[in-house]
Structure 1
Amino acid sequence: MSHLGGGHVSAQGPVLILVGPPGSGKSTVGRLAAEHLGVPFRDFDHDLEHAHGLPAGELVVRLGRERFQEAERELLTALLPEFTGVLALGGGTPTAPGVPELLAPFHVVFLDVDLEHLLRREGLVSLHPWLMPNPRAHLRELLKARRPVYTEVAAATVPTSGRAPAEVLADVLATLPAATG
């Protein structure tokens, strides 16, 4: 997949955006990447929580899926032009209407993880109570529904299953356009 002009339509905005399901390592790898590149790191779910005063999981319930996705898109629209570091998006953020178009000018990497590794992630289900009562079925559906979107918005896909964060980081950094690394 080739991007004209290295994928950066504008000079402003995040140097790297990570997408992937909950538990794929976006925050861990994002922090390491930001440290390596000498730029700030932001977790979009934390930004949402800060803006609305509720964790993302509760916001979805309170606002409903549609309004929640509008809130995600609004916040992202405001954030993208002014934030120049590494951004980890919420698991569902790329699936919100209008978000793939917002992400298009930026360097997006999809952290791919398989179902078995997700199910072994400690604390995943307690952090994401909507996965109950059947986390395996929920996660399988989630991955099936979202994988095409993640693949579509990302310039590169990096597998994370069973790999150390440092290994994943090296692969992620290798995808960056030469100018930023």
Structure 2
Amino acid sequence: MSARRATVVLVGPPGAGKTTVGGELARLLGVELLDTDEDVERREGRTISDIFIDDGEAHFRALEHAAVVRALEAHEGVVALGGGAVEHPETRAALRSVPVVYLDVSMAKALPRVGLSGARPLLVDSPRARWKALMDARRPLYQEVAGLVVLTDDEPVERLATLIAEALERGELRPRDET
């Protein structure tokens, strides 16, 4: 598989494996992974949970959108977005110009992966009900931006990354603006 220096964006709910699959995909493609949640935390010098508590979700979403814009403009590699990034209409518009993969996951597989700690501020109270509500709202947005949907439930990370890399190499995964 030849290295390809093109931005590939991974979207999906908490627990879908965006960062994990993204790391393996970046390795396969010979590029770097940029996780926008990690970028926000690094720039702010605090966790996403602390940003939510101190400044509220709206402030975090503005920081998140800025991180996505920076990544799409400057990063030549794999970009893993936070689960709620697709809620911002300008983010969805920007994603039309890059290949996007929606990593889907069932609630049964996602919740054990994310745990039930305060690290996921939107899942703290009633995690199952919150996760379902988030997915009901976000699933159409993930589908809107994605050129490829991959279910991560029972596939090994290496296999998922290979499927995405092969779709890129075959030209099956292109920006929505080109389809």
Short-chain TM bin:
0.7 to 0.9
Correspondence 1:32 to 2:24: yes
Residue pair 2:100, 2:146 contacting (<8 A) in 1 also: yes
CA pair 104-141 structure 1, distance change in 2 beyond 3 A? same
Correspondence 1:18 to 2:44: no
Q: State TM-score, norm by structure 1.
A: 0.84
Residue pair 2:52, 2:121 contacting (<8 A) in 1 also: no
2:155 — aligned with what? 163
Residue pair 1:22, 1:124 contacting (<8 A) in 2 also: no
Correspondence 1:172 to 2:172: no
- Distance of 1:22 and 1:166 partners within structure 2: 19
User: Alignment partner of 1:125: what SS?
Assistant: coil
Counterpart pick for 2:42 among 45, 50, 55: 50
- Distance of 2:59 and 2:89 partners within structure 1: 11
User: Alignment partner of 1:176: what SS?
Assistant: helix
Q: What does the per-residue CA deviation read over 1:17-73, in whole Å, with 9 as the maximum and x for residues that have no partner?
A: 100111101111100000000001111111000111121232233222222222222
Correspondence 1:134 to 2:126: yes
What are the within-5 Å matches in structure 2 for residues 32-181 of structure 1?
32-121=24-113, 123-126=114-117, 127-176=119-168, 178=170
Q: State TM-score, norm by structure 2.
A: 0.85
- Distance of 1:17 and 1:81 partners within structure 2: 12
Give the gaps of 5 or more residues in structure 1: 1-12
Q: Size of the alignment, in residue pairs?
A: 168
Which shifted more, 82-91 or 158-167? 158-167
Structure 1 consecutive aligned stretches of length 4 or more whose deviation exceeds 6 Å? none
- Cα RMSD (Å): 2.1
Give the gaps of 5 or more residues in structure 2: 174-179
Which shifted more, 61-70 or 147-156? 61-70
Q: What does the per-residue CA deviation read over 1:58-101, in whole Å, with 9 as the maximum and x for residues that have no partner?
A: 22332222222222222222231111011100111111231001
